[in-house]
Each structure stands twice: as structure tokens, then as C-alpha cells.
């Protein structure tokens, strides 16, 4: 598995992106919904993350979606 050590330079800053993501998940989705069981939570999170990555525009990504940014970066140029 991956080992994370706080001894690594700037490692303490790596977690900030995950913390921000989960804050968004909680305040934009989980705290605004009511669930009856864990199965509903999992299904709802799956739908929400698909929306977040595929449809929600992000100001920090020049108003693109995360999928648009990721797949543009790794797109294979088509031969003419």
C-alpha cells in the first residue's frame, strides 16, 4: 500500500484537496439529504460524484468539469 509520512516535504499540504472535497460533499449533498440506510447513502454518493466530475463546472478549472480537464490532459491526438 501507499505510505504517507508527515516527514516528507510539503506532505502536510497534500491532504488539503481531499479535505476540501469532503467538505463540499458534506455541505452540498449529505447534509441536505435524508437517508434511511447505508445502501441509499452509497447510491446517492455514486450519483453525486458522477455529477460532480462530469457536469459541475469548477471555477478553479476555468469553468470546466474535472472530467474535461483530466481527459483533455490524457487525450491521444488523432492522426490526420
Q: Which residues of 43-60 are buried (b: 16+ CB within 10 A; e: fewer)?
A: eebeebeeebeeeeeeee
Judged by phi (left if over 0) then psi (alpha if -120 to 50, else beta), residue 39 lies in alpha
| 29-79 tens-digit pLDDT | 999 999 999 999 999 999 999 999 999 988 888 999 999 999 988 776 666
Which one has a higher pLDDT value, 2 or 36?
36
Record the pTM: 0.66
Residues 30 and 69: their CA atoms lie apart, in Å, by: 26
Say if 65 falls within a structural domain.
Answer: yes
- What residues make up the domain containing 16? 11-73
Say if 43 falls within a structural domain.
Answer: yes
pLDDT band of residue 5 (cuts 50, 70, 90) is low
Residue-level pLDDT at 4: 55
Q: Count up the domains in the chain and report the number.
A: 1
Say if 44 falls within a structural domain.
Answer: yes
> Does residue 65 sit in helix, strand or coil?
coil
Say if 37 falls within a structural domain.
Answer: yes
As a whole number, mean pLDDT of residues 8-24 equals 80
- Give the list of residues 6+ apart from residue 63 with CB closer than 8 angstroms, or none: 57
Amino acid at each position: 500500500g501507499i505510505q504517507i509520512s508527515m516527514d516528507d516535504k510539503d506532505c502536510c499540504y497534500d491532504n488539503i484537496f481531499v479535505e476540501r472535497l469532503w467538505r463540499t460533499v458534506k455541505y452540498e449533498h449529505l447534509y441536505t439529504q435524508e437517508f434511511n440506510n447505508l445502501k441509499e447513502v452509497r447510491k446517492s454518493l455514486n450519483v453525486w460524484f458522477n455529477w460532480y466530475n462530469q457536469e459541475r463546472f469548477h471555477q478553479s478549472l476555468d469553468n470546466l468539469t474535472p472530467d474535461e480537464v483530466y481527459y483533455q490532459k490524457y487525450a491521444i491526438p488523432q492522426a490526420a
